Structure 1
Amino acid sequence: MTFRSGFVPSMPAAAFAALSFAALVLAGPVFVTVAHGEEGSLPTAHAIDAGDCPSRRLDTMIGQTIMVGFPGLREQDRGVRAVLAQLRQGTVGGVILFPDNIGDRAQLKALTDALRATRSGLPPFIAVDQEGGAVQRLRARKGFDWFPSAKLVGENLSLDAQEIAGEIYSQMALELAGLGFNLNLGPVVDINSNPGNPVIGARGRSFGDSSDIVSPMAAAFINAHHEANVATAAKHFPGHGSSVVDSHRKLADISQSWREEELDPYRRLVLQGLLDAVMIGHLYHPRFSDLEGLPASLSVKAVGALRGANGLGFDGVIISDDMEMGAITQAFSPEEAAVRAIRAGTDILVFSNIERGDPRFGARIHRALAEAVCDGHLGEARVEDAYRRIVRLKEQLKTRTLPRAW
């Protein structure tokens, strides 16, 4: 969920953001916009001094990097019509649903059927945050199954605890798949080193206070979802469990509280070959942040800690936490944050679009990324790299056979 706040960003982050935004504005070719098509569809952009840019191929790749929330519950609603047009056109590659999109089972299934029917080759990601406990978008009072928090699951110390967790998450994953979802933004693999943490510990979102508890429970969560043909995203890298502030409201500085063990669940899950995607948090730590006050989610260092021989060896999809959280919006516009995150190595950007409820928001982000490519602020190779990983995961979902979710 996204919150606005009146906090003023730190001077290093604010100053850096201002200088960078000025550079984006002053550099590059001039664009002329010609609007056309359905509401929310992407306007055509022509670079006056660079021919047609981006190419249709690159335009398609850019769209796959964008996941957006939208207002509405039914196909005839304005916000739903807009996002359906964006999916059909390839302006965005996925959507995320929130409680305001979810009524009852019949309504939700009709909505996801309409979203899925837009596919023009690759299926769209239809994502949700369904962790159990305090974070479950499919709520019991609307007729959906209820699931315990990660804290309750992790407190089971019996010999068959992992098997029991697997049964719980199998029920969760089957419900999601049956309702048309193919991506669950979980599990939380943060270690609960600060039980008073307002966004993790205090809300029961962590399995426990050690990797030996968190890792097997997370594996049970992921395996159950794989069996149901639902991808997952482990979060919040490099670790949100020690923070003392909520990154929905402001940048969480973990430089004094973070510890090495917080990487261990990711390391174990990589070695087991279980990770589909990793969500990078809006967290500050010099080891994972390129500049003082810059979130890990916008930093090459954080991606480097995940990728390659010098990192954890993860070559799957990197997905952002909501780019409209206070940790980002205090210092960056949505457009600049989008360019920075993709340039740093994030593959999929999540924009909740909760507060603004803008039917055209996905097109707005797409255009910002396209212009950044055309004026040289974002490399084509980086977009192609993100696209390759996204396609690989979507193709894996297409080839899995259980249940019949496509």
Structure 2
Amino acid sequence: MKVVIAAGVLALGVLALQPRPAADGESAQEPSTGAADAQLDRMIGQMIMVGFPGDDEQDPGVIAVHDQLAKGVVGGVVLYPENIGQKGKLKALTAHLRSATSNPVPFIAVDQEGGLVQRLARRDGYTDIPSAASIAANPSYSAMDSVGRLYGTMAAELADAGFNLNFGPVVDLNLNPENPVIGARGRSFGSDPKRVTDYARAFIAAHRRANIVTAAKHFPGHGSSQTDSHESFSDISKTWRDRELEPYRVLAQEGLLDMVMVGHLYHPRFSDGSQLPASLSGRAVRSLRDPHWLAFKGVVMSDDLEMGAVEDYPIEERVIKAINAGTDLIMFSNVMSENPELGPELHAVIADAVRNGLISRTRIEQAYGKIMLLKRKLVQKDLGGKS
């Protein structure tokens, strides 16, 4: 099914969204023109990451997204199994995508956790990495230097393949072993926050040595859920525990968090309204930024905004709510829609929302600043700074 965003939907008020009041220090939004418009467009582009159809530079979907990267319409792409083939072909594809623009460098992202979530697979010539649960249960990996070597192999292969962003580590605590998306799939290092933090630290350090950005997930914690947010609404209000925040607190304090991915998870503590997931709620991002607790200053990104947990919200509403909540980087897998023009359509939604006062220009500038700071560190191979 193609996802099509009507160009004039915001102006027509289909979403029944009211202009967002200006925050302290912000001015009311006026339509921008000329050079100001161009700068706004550049900033918006850096906030958008999309998947795309195709695995060869001659494929229409690849041609389209390459052009969007070159024009700054989007700032990054994420690859899925349908984009990934044998080593030589994958390297050619990522090199082609990187050639679209060099300033700033595009994010070329993938989910490479190990175990069942391993896009670069053995069949294509890559090392088979055990799941987080298997690593934590194996006495051979009780020493963090051995874990570091294992994840060093993973990170080196990602870098060689042309990636600079990995959606990991999973820092969810395994509080519900029957959880269909975390516990049952072996994606958690365990239920002890210190143990999870130790393994996550080794994962991040190995990626930094390979100059790859990481995104800890899924804030505020998916490990206690009873449902899979890929498929449906995920309410954690009765199962979530405070200790699920501990890995974020420690890793942020140590300057090891480049990005944090906010999940489509409902808990009143992290929600702006009845059953509104954390990914669309300012309360979630404010708790993540709270200087007296988690104090995260880096890039906040959304989980895939095409997932089942948020599908009841029109796409325009998902985008506007996520950005107003404080999300810096919105991500659409585009796996279901396979729409080669999704990036430009998302860009138009955000630009229209700014011009119509639904998103403040200041919010765009804040997001752009955080993304550009991280990209500069990536180019300078200096990912060790405080985040």
Correspondence for 1:171 among 153, 157, 164? 153
Q: How does 1:112-127 map to 2 (within 5 A)?
A: 112-127=94-109
Counterpart CA distance in 1 for 2:194 and 2:19 is 50
Output the CA distance in 2 between the equivalents of 1:267 and 1:156: 26
On the 8 A contact 1:192/1:208 being kept in 2, the answer is yes
Alpha-carbon separation, structure 2, partners of 1:57 and 1:227: 33
What are the residue-to-residue correspondences of 1:203-222 with 2, within 5 Å?
A: 203-222=185-204
Matched, 1:290 2:272: yes
In the TM superposition, what is the alpha-carbon distance from 1:306 to its structure 2 partner? 0.7
- The 2-side partners of 1:62 and 1:130 are apart by 27
Letter in 2 for 1:179: A
Q: 2:242 matched to which residue of 1? A: 260
Is 1:372 the counterpart of 2:353 in the alignment? yes
Aligned residue pairs total 363
Q: Give distance in 2, aligned partners of 1:237 and 1:27.
A: 28
User: Could you tell me which of 54, 68, 80 is aligned with 1:72?
Assistant: 54
What percent of counterpart residues are identical?
54
| CA drift at 1:142 | 1.8
What is the CA–CA distance in structure 2 between the aligned matches of 1:304 and 1:96, rounded to whole Å? 26
Q: 1:143 aligns with which of 106, 109, 125?
A: 125
What stretches of structure 1 move > 6 A for 4+ residues in a row?
A: none
Contact 1:96/1:352 (8 A) holds in 2: yes
1:243–1:253 contact (8 Å) kept in structure 2: yes
Structure 2 residue matching 1:278: 3-state secondary structure? strand
Shift of the alpha carbon at 1:159? Answer: 8.3
TM-score (norm 1): 0.86
Equivalent residues of 1:237, 1:279 under 8 A apart: yes
SS at match of 2:16: helix
The 2-side partners of 1:308 and 1:381 are apart by 19
Q: Tell me, yes or no, if structure 1 residue 319 matches structure 2 residue 319.
A: no
CA drift of 1:145 comes to 1.4
Shift of 1:294: 0.2
Per-residue deviation at 1:401? 7.7
Decide whether aligned partners of structure 1 residues 21 and 209 sit closer, same or farther in structure 2, where only a CA change above 3 A counts.
farther
Letter in 1 for 2:212: V
Indicate the SS of the match to 1:354: coil
Quote the offset at 1:160 in angstroms: 4.7
Deviation of 1:162 after TM superposition, in Å, equals 1.4
Structure 1 position 320, deviation (Å): 0.5
Among 184, 200, 213, the residue aligned to 1:202: 184
Q: Identify the residue that residue 339 of structure 2 maps to in structure 1.
A: 358
Shift of 1:158: 6.4
Other-structure match for 2:10: none
For the residues of structure 2 that align with 1:365 and 1:154, how far apart are their CA atoms?
Answer: 40
2:386 is the counterpart of 1:393: no
TM-score normalised by structure 2 residue count? 0.90
Tell me the distance in 2 between the aligned counterparts of 1:21 and 1:190.
Answer: 37
CA separation of 1:337/1:214 partners in 2, compared to 1, >3 Å: closer, same or farther?
A: same
Which 5+ residue runs of structure 2 have no aligned equivalent?
Answer: 4-12, 21-29
- Is the CA contact 1:193–1:209 (under 8 Å) kept in the aligned structure 2? yes
Alignment of 1:2-401 (within 5 A): 21-24=14-17, 50=31, 52=33, 55-157=37-139, 160-329=142-311, 331-400=312-381
CA shift in 2, pair 1:149/1:373, >3 Å = same
Between the aligned partners of 1:343 and 1:50, the Cα distance in structure 2 is: 18
| Preserved contact between residue 263 and residue 303 of structure 2 (Cα < 8 Å) | yes
Check the 8 A contact 2:171/2:189 in 1, yes or no.
Answer: yes
Q: Deviations over 1:296-319 (max 9, x none)?
A: 000001001110324410000001
Give the distance between the partners of 2:14 and 2:359, measured in 1 at CA.
14
Counterpart contact for 2:229–2:309, Cα < 8 Å: yes
What's the CA shift string for 1:139-180, capped at 9, x where partnerless? 111222110000011113568521111111000000000110
Unaligned runs of 5+ in 1: 5-19, 29-48
Q: CA deviation at 1:50?
A: 4.0
Indicate the SS of the match to 2:181. coil
Shift of 1:51: 5.8
Conserved? CA contact 1:308–1:315, under 8 Å: no
Q: Partner letter of residue 55 of structure 2?
A: L
RMSD between aligned residues: 2.0
Q: Measure, in 2, the Cα distance between the counterparts of 1:401 and 1:387.
A: 19
